[in-house]
Chain A
Amino acid sequence: MESPTPADPSELEELYRLLAAVRQLDTAAVRWQRQGIIPGYAPLLGQEAAQVGSGYAVDPTRDFLFPTYRELGVARAVGVDMVEYMATHKATWHGGLYNPATTHFAPIQAVVGGSVLHAVGWAHGQRLAGPGEDGYNVALSYFGDGASSQGDVHEAMNFAAVMKAPVIFFVQNNGWAISVPTERQVAGGSVAARAAGYGMPSLSVDGNDVTAVLEATRQALAHCRDGGGPIVIEARTYRLGPHSTSDDPGRYRSLDEEQSARRSDPLAACEALLRTRFGTPDSFFAGALAAAEAEAEAVRQGLEGLAPRPGSEMFDFVFQEPTPALKAQAAAWRTESEHV
């Protein structure tokens, strides 16, 4: 898809502010890991446009997003509290502390491809419930080129297509699944190309162009709302950072490749568009940067102030109706750990 030309600067400025906030939060998180504030993090550096552009298009009051563990940018774009989101990386609670039922942002998912079927199930539920005045609510399933190798992703696409479920399979093809490049991961080189086999449409988009991603996601949402069934968006991007803060990309790719990829920085591309198209002044970019830095600092303070959850929560959330055996274990834990 070609990058559409935005009509007015306000939306593009909002997108830029989101991109800047996500860039700051993401790079700050890596620092926080180095400083020992959080034990680990999976950076999204380079994928900001794919995440912000798609998340921005969604209506989180009605649609539902199913992330992996690398969707901070989506979470930020749909308004998930960043301290509650980062709580998973602070090892406070797997899945984070935000409420997935009210934010419509599913818990952070550690199993690659694990939540793609959940999105299909949720979307089928929307079909069973019937469309609203403005069509169906839509599930957005996020996964990557690595996850596309999982059998669950095939099952999910096939189920969705058979059932005409309103779900967008949003693939961030970032070139790398930890150390394995796309050409060793995705036969044929494209996940979007598989859509034809399931009889569903697909959009292949420059994932570093935030306006192109936004436009593609809006098209896909319209398709799903109209009852057209599932659709694939493949956003071609690049994971500029390591897989995680424990990873060492120097063992599997060259600095030349990384530097070459840096030339298509999504933040710089958005800035260039604003400057050339609308003549946006320096003061705007300085303001966006300052706001992003202030936000990251507030999140850092929030994280540092985040106390461990009480140990009783290990037991509290296993069931809606706890079993006698679990209550007994909780009582024994309390007696032996708190000496009460």
Chain B
Amino acid sequence: MSETLSGPLSPAGNGAAAPAPLTLSMQGALNRALGEVLEDNPKALIFGEDVGRLGGVFRITDGLQARFGAERVFDTPLAESGILGMSVGLAMAGFHPIPEVQFDGFAYPAVNQIVSQIGRMNYRSRGALPMPIALRVPSFGGIRAPELHGESLESLFVHVPGLKVVSPADPHQAYHLLRLAGSMPDPVIFMEPKARYWQKGPVDPADAGALEGARIVRSGRHLTLIAWGAMVSRCLQVADLAAEDGIEVEVLDLRWLSPIDADGLAESVSRTRRAVVVHEAPRSSGLGAEIAALVTERCFNTLKAPVERVTGFDVPYPSGDLEDEYIPNIDRILFGIQRVLEHRRG
């Protein structure tokens, strides 16, 4: 993890010139962001399973306990409902909890606390008990992990009133979105694409760029590919391949899954007039359905084809040997593109 040496362990200089852009893995970027959130806000706390001495199973919290002490970065007993329920009480006591659930599938035992408590406490208390909780969840598949270590829970979370949901696609986004999520006064589910933890990329700490809504990662005029998390880089690969055939694909990184940037979607698709949404989660009632509805509501008169969905299947997330068959791959995304391009009105 040599890249972390240029990240979390180097103190941010006070009054120094703006730091130069860095090259960091997403792990390093997240780690750096967490360190700065703890520095900026003395009420911020990081806790979860193995996040202290070990630095987390993905090392996202590496070095933070040594730097900030075992009161601000601490290991909890192994119980996800306990971690999230405790977050509620700490928020009530004026702290800003940044808990980690070790893997996506382990959020299931905590659903009561996330859905019935964290998502509702501000409402139930008529705004008297805000829940500034940024829940980090290593998410999605692609690492040949055991069962329930490759889930895509965004549809579950975005259906819950009172939660905001965001997923970064690259190290720069990861750094800035986590800094933002860690300072927001409302609960945020921060879905980290674990398959992308070790890919490096440029991070400019001094220039976040706009962090609200979706962002266009690549411009194109023939169709819009809509994705988030690990699927963004795959869609960029697809766009490169399609360009060889003269197809100009626009790639839109949704980033915020709740609230969805409906205007940003409409702006892109109103120009390209075709949309393909790509996600790892199962197809039925997946976020792709919501996106298709939003695009259709806003772009019905200009759409040249129904919004296409390239998604996981309505099956439990499979074992590693089969996950490449499950996760939308380049061929399946290209087929989706072909379908919207070849669509003819009846």
Contact = CB atoms under 8 A, between A and B. Distances in A.
Interface of A: 64, 93-95, 97, 99-102, 106-107, 111, 114-126, 128-129, 139, 151-152, 155-156, 158-159, 162, 313, 316-321, 323-326
B79 A124 contact: no
Given A107-B125, A121-B85, A320-B122, A155 B77 contact: yes
Contact of B95 (A101, A128, A323): A128
A127 to B, nearest CB: 9
Contacts of A118: 85-86, 88-89, 92, 117
A121 B90 contact: yes
A106 to B, nearest CB: 7
Interface in B293-335: none
A121 B118 CA distance: 13
A100 B161 contact: no
Given A99-B128, A158-B79, A321-B184, 19 more contacts: A106-B92, A106-B129, A111-B112, A114-B117, A117-B89, A120-B86, A121-B89, A124-B90, A125-B93, A125-B95, A128-B95, A152-B112, A155-B79, A156-B82, A158-B77, A317-B127, A318-B122, A320-B130, A323-B258
Nearest to A320: B185
B126 A111 contact: no
A126 B126 CA distance: 24
A159 B77 contact: yes
Contacts of B164: 319, 323
25 contacts: A95-B125, A99-B125, A100-B129, A101-B92, A102-B128, A106-B92, A106-B129, A111-B112, A114-B117, A121-B86, A121-B92, A121-B97, A124-B89, A125-B95, A128-B71, A152-B81, A155-B81, A313-B126, A317-B122, A317-B125, A320-B130, A320-B185, A324-B263, A325-B260, A326-B259
B127 A316 contact: yes
Interface in B201-256: none
Nearest to A316: B127
A147 to B, nearest CB: 13
Contacts of B122: 317-320
Interchain residue pairs A-B with the least CB separation, the first 8: A121-B89, A117-B85, A125-B93, A121-B86, A155-B82, A323-B259, A122-B89, A95-B124
Contact of A318 (B87, B97, B161): B161
B94 interface: yes
Interface residues of B, number: 46
B88 A121 contact: yes
A102 B94 CA distance: 13
Given A97-B126, A114-B116, A158-B79, A318 B89 contact: no
A122 B130 contact: no
Contacts of B92: 64, 101, 106, 118, 121-122, 125
A24 B126 CA distance: 29
Q: Is the interface of A mostly helix, strand, loop or mixed?
A: helix
B82 A117 contact: yes
Contacts of A100: 125, 128-129
Nearest to A123: B89
Interface string B91-123: 111110100000000000000110011000111
B54 interface: no
A76 to B, nearest CB: 20
Interface string B247-281: 00000000000111011000000000000000000
A58 to B, nearest CB: 16
B52 interface: no
B186 interface: yes
Contacts of B132: 320
Contacts of B77: 155, 158-159, 162
B76 interface: yes
B125 to A, nearest CB: 5
B262 A325 contact: yes
A159 B125 contact: no
B225 to A, nearest CB: 23
A122 B117 CA distance: 14
Given A107-B124, A152-B81, A139 B129 contact: no
Nearest to B86: A121
Given A97-B126, A159-B79, A125 B89 contact: yes
Contact of A101 (B82, B124, B129, B161): B129
A43 to B, nearest CB: 22
Contact of A320 (B90, B93, B186): B186
A111 to B, nearest CB: 5
A321 B186 contact: yes
B50 to A, nearest CB: 15
A325 B165 CA distance: 13
A317 B126 contact: yes
Contacts of A321: 184-186
Contacts of B116: 111, 114
A325 B213 CA distance: 11
B89 A152 contact: no
